[in-house]
Amino acid sequence: MIRNNTLTNNSICPAPGSSGYNPAHSCTVGKCSATVIVGHDWASDWVVENNTISNADGTAGPGCWGIAYSPGNGGYSEASFRFAIRGNTIVNPGNAAIRTAACQNCLIENNNVIWTPNSVTSAGGGVYCISAANNAVSASPGTTYQNTNLTIRNNTCYFAKTSDVSRGVTVQSVGTGHIVTNNLIVFDAQGTNLASACVDTTGLTMSAFTAFDYNHCYHAASWTPTQSLAAWRASAGAPDAHSLASDPLLIGTPSQSSPGNTAIGAGSPAKSAGTAAYSAPRDRSTCARPSPPSIGAYEYFAAPCATKPADGPTQLR
């Protein structure tokens, strides 16, 4: 379990002459240049929860990922099983905020990810809020594992500005049984780059998903890399039939010091607009969500919930 840590402006800088030093890839102390929470090889039943990964606006390089669990050693099969990545706050990563590959029966929920105006420029490339792609290692002997039965629900992604490639939720190429529901994705005033897209399922048909609906994406250039929301809904499987594209009316402008401004207000169309069938049972504050729940990491409550349920077992599929 990795829980309740705060990691700010992290960097990995091998000293000249030491193992791993490469002058072509030198880094600056205080500038995030590598994945902050990362794992490879074999792992199961991990919980990565309530951590804060925060970088100052404009300081993260393209090697700065937030949380990543995927094959990375090479030469043999690697996989993760029954992971839960939930309730984390990730501010200004330089690449993907959360990434999984070769992850089976894994859960990603209630995470809050934001990019402030200059952070995308410093990254110098694509930025992805949640990315599940195929980099499974084919090894002999051994079995090649792929993303299977991923649940991505009730996350919030906020982009103050977009890069040449910016994506909300990406589930590509491999696997079946995936669920993508109740996610809130906001491309704000400067988020007008033509390459921004809410979701990306390149290489998969809707038959790979158990549910893909009740998401809310505002101000993107397109819903998928090649389709508007209307065209996407008209495709086979009718995805995102109940999803929204209006202004979600956040309570404020998100920033490094105020990432919680991605919460929704009383008048938000995301309020009570999610699906209870595929919802996180609790929100980021561990308060029980009502039925129907709101879309995004933060549930709307008119008043603070009186009783927070005790911690129970992680709910995985």
| pLDDT tens for each residue of 160-206 | 877 667 899 999 988 899 999 999 999 876 555 567 889 999 999 99
Residue pair 90/127 in contact (Cβ under 8 Å)? The answer is no
Residue pair 215/182 in contact (Cβ under 8 Å)? The answer is yes
Average pLDDT over residues 114-125: 68
Write the pLDDT tens digit of every residue in 23-36. 554 556 667 777 88
Residue pair 168/129 in contact (Cβ under 8 Å)? The answer is yes
- The pLDDT assigned to 315 comes to 42
- The pLDDT assigned to 119 comes to 67
Average pLDDT over residues 97-108: 92
Q: Which is more confidently placed, 199 or 124? A: 199
Q: What's CA 211's distance to the chain center, in Å?
A: 17
Of the candidates 21, 50, 47, 200, which has an alpha carbon nearest to the alpha carbon of residue 111? 50
Average pLDDT over residues 224-246: 92
Each domain of the chain, given as residue ranges in start order, spans: 2-262
**Which residues neighbour 140 within 8 Å (Cβ) at sequence distance 6 or greater?**
none
| Average predicted confidence (pLDDT) for the chain | 84
**pLDDT band for position 64 (cuts 50, 70, 90):** confident
Please tell me which of 50-54, 141-145, 306-310 the model is most confident about, judged by mean pLDDT.
50-54
Query: Which of 81-95, 191-205, 208-222 is least confident?
Result: 191-205
- The pLDDT assigned to 38 comes to 82
